[in-house]
Chain A
Amino acid sequence: MSPVLRPRRRSGGSGSRPRWLRSPKVAAGSLILLFFVLLAVFGPMAAPHSPEWQASTLDNVPHPPSSQFWLGTDVQQHDLFSQLLAGGRDTLLIAFVGGLVATALSVVVGVSAGFLGGKADEVLSILTNIFLALPGLLILMVVMKMMPDGDTGNPLLIGAVIALSAWAWGARVLRAQTLALRNQDYVDSARVVGEGRVRIILFEILPNLLPILASSFIFTVIYGIGAYASLAWLGLINPTNASWGTMLNTAQQFSATTSGTWWWYGPPALCIAFVGIALALLNFGIDEIVNPRMRSTRRGLRSKGPRFQLGLTPVVRAEEGTRP
């Protein structure tokens, strides 16, 4: 039979792994993410020294990695390995809080805009579009600069501010999807049966929005990590908060990038990049699970099957000799 039409095996058929773990992208993404979450939770405790600890106050030459300091030291003889271990917590926490708050906001605004329609929709859509056009990171820069120093170290506050600049994307996508769902037969029938608005939204519509919710949550977390790291790198976050961005900020101040001290700026940058990649892989995988048509199957289709698909009817040129 044609490889295009090969049915996917249902989960539970052959038994072992749940469906969402079969995608290699999701599996890889979750593994990397799990590693960094563990690092964020236990890293600060496992670190051999505190982030402020200095090996010496006399030496001002950054030392490359050695058996004593696994990732070397910076100009002020801070143990970079300890800083790296301690630096994940705030970054992940802030991004996570930001993601949660932003997702909640986007559900409230997006779903009610899509479901209520009419004037409410118009007002909420304008609000969403305005927030979309606002340059979030710049606003954060200005706000962070204006806040008293003590407050720029408060992870929850920063997370909330990041969320305020990030909810609009999800709200717009959720609104569009709610609009599409609102007139589905099953929602109509629920209405006819006499279910209340709240119940319809919570039990009929929201479950169908879950994949979009998940992907907009992940998107916001990626954004949050980038935003927080950028703010810290720009020196707008209280420098006593050890984070990867702060490490990059000090590295920048001592122009580590141009003096070849790769062990100083490399590891924190890699950590930020890897968390981002892990989340992006997860998002990619979710997209494919939600919408199987988007999947790219490397095996099977390529080279032997028809390349040009039109609907479910493979159109194959005869001279290719690949007739199914």
Chain B
Amino acid sequence: MRALLRRLWFYLVAAFAAITLNFFIPRMVPGSALQNFLAKMNTASLTPSQLQALEAQYGGGHQGLVAQYLTYLGNLFHGNLGMSTSLSTPVSTVLGNDLPWTIGLVGSATVIAFLVGTLIGVLAGWRRSGLLDSLLPAATFFQAVPYFILASLLMLTLGFYGGMFPTGGAYDTGRFATVTPGWNGPFMANVIDHAALPAATVALASIAGWIIGMRNMMITTMDEDYVLVAAAKGLPRWRVVAVAARNALLPSISNFALSISLVVTGSIVTEIVFNYAGVGREIFNAAQAADYPVMQGILLVVTFTVLGANLLADIVYVALDPRARKVA
């Protein structure tokens, strides 16, 4: 517990840094962000109060930097992320609708990738130089190709030409839709059907990392004395492998922090390809409409989500590794 508390203040600092960065980004870019914004904006007219709100958010008003920062913090503290300029709704409402879709997508894809990848990694490390090992370079293909290309590839082959899965959206909408949103069976099946390809993209892209990490750790761990002891005791082979795998798993979990933000940004790009209903599509639309408040709100929320996922990984790590509990 003390180890976790110690980690907790890192998360506080990180959250604060993210908030501060979010404040300074529009002020750091060359030229005045407010002027750029007004130049790129699509809506023709702004009410004075809207202009005032924008000035508060992007500077260029009459307040000093410190006062702007304090106003920004105060607004944030009240959950006020500003108003969307293209949708005329509060940013927090927009995000509240999008975030569950993204978290569901990233979460399920990550869990699948982690479980399958770790399992394959264990097998590849155990049966080293086997068939699985020779497939490793193929797995890196998915890692080396940008998400949007992999997503388009899956969409074209399995979705568009293969016709096995829907090519876009999070569920059937429109005139011919037979499902009604809600917690009912047909709708859930429809959602899963639509999520299959985006989730497969995210899982495929991140699986190579899990496989290779686990394989390399397995190879190192199998040389440890305690594995030798387990084998010498005459345990069945799979039990010996399980002993090694349990220990090899730990670095994999702490590596989670290295990859999660890449996975999240990747899944946001994937959402754009599949026109999925999450924050990815929202930030794309916001970028098209130069809707800065929404873009920044998404940036902040995604950062917080990543930090939350890291905290979760930390908790799991502490639960699994007694050494992490002692070092406090």
Contacts and interface: CB of A to CB of B under 8 A. Distances in A.
A293 B216 CA distance: 9
B140 A138 contact: no
A296 B141 contact: no
A315 interface: yes
B134 A298 contact: yes
Contacts of A235: 287-288
Given A130-B17, A133-B257, A315 B299 contact: no
Contacts of B53: none
Interface string B265-295: 1101100100000000001100110101001
Contacts of B29: 143, 146-147
A265 B36 CA distance: 32
A310 B227 contact: yes
A281 B137 contact: yes
A284 B138 CA distance: 11
Interface string B2-21: 00000000100110011001
Contacts of B143: 280
B299 A132 contact: no
A278 B262 CA distance: 20
A310 B243 CA distance: 13
B51 to A, nearest CB: 18
Contacts of B133: 296, 298
A267 B190 CA distance: 34
Nearest to B290: A145
A242 B129 CA distance: 44
B226 to A, nearest CB: 11
B182 to A, nearest CB: 31
Contacts of B283: 138, 141
A184 interface: no
Contacts of A151: 30
Contacts of A257: 152, 155-156, 160
Nearest to B269: A230
B14 A130 contact: yes
Given A135-B261, A141-B295, A309-B222, A296 B160 contact: no
Interface in B238-252: none
A138 B25 contact: no
B307 A133 contact: yes
A146 B145 contact: no
A303 B144 CA distance: 31
Contact of A234 (B160, B223, B272, B290): B272
Given A294-B219, A307-B127, A142 B14 contact: no
Nearest to B146: A226
B202 to A, nearest CB: 14
Interface string A222-244: 11011001100111100000000
Interface string A306-323: 011111010100000000
B252 to A, nearest CB: 15
Contacts of B40: 145
Interface in B141-195: 141, 143-149, 152-153, 155-156, 160
B156 A272 contact: no
Given A137-B265, A309-B222, A145 B152 contact: no
A31 B18 CA distance: 42
Contacts of B134: 296, 298
Contact of B292 (A146, A234, A293, A297): A146
A301 B137 contact: no
B116 interface: no
A180 interface: no
Given A133-B310, A296-B133, A311 B141 contact: no
B25 A146 contact: yes
A142 B137 contact: no
A276 interface: yes
A130 B13 contact: yes
Interface string B106-133: 0000000000000000000011111001
A143 B25 contact: yes
A297 B129 CA distance: 5
A126 interface: yes
B21 A134 contact: yes
A135 B299 contact: yes
B69 interface: no
A265 B152 CA distance: 10
Contacts of B73: none
Contacts of A169: 258
Given A129-B14, A133-B307, A310-B231, A276 B257 contact: no
Contact of B149 (A273, A294, A309): A273
B287 A234 contact: yes
13 contacts: A130-B17, A133-B307, A134-B261, A146-B25, A229-B146, A230-B147, A230-B269, A235-B287, A273-B144, A277-B140, A294-B219, A301-B129, A309-B222
The 6 residue pairs across chains A and B that have the minimum distance between CB atoms:
A276-B144, A280-B144, A226-B146, A296-B133, A137-B265, A301-B129
Given A146-B29, A296-B134, 12 more contacts: A135-B261, A135-B306, A136-B262, A138-B265, A141-B283, A230-B146, A234-B272, A280-B137, A284-B140, A294-B216, A310-B228, A311-B228
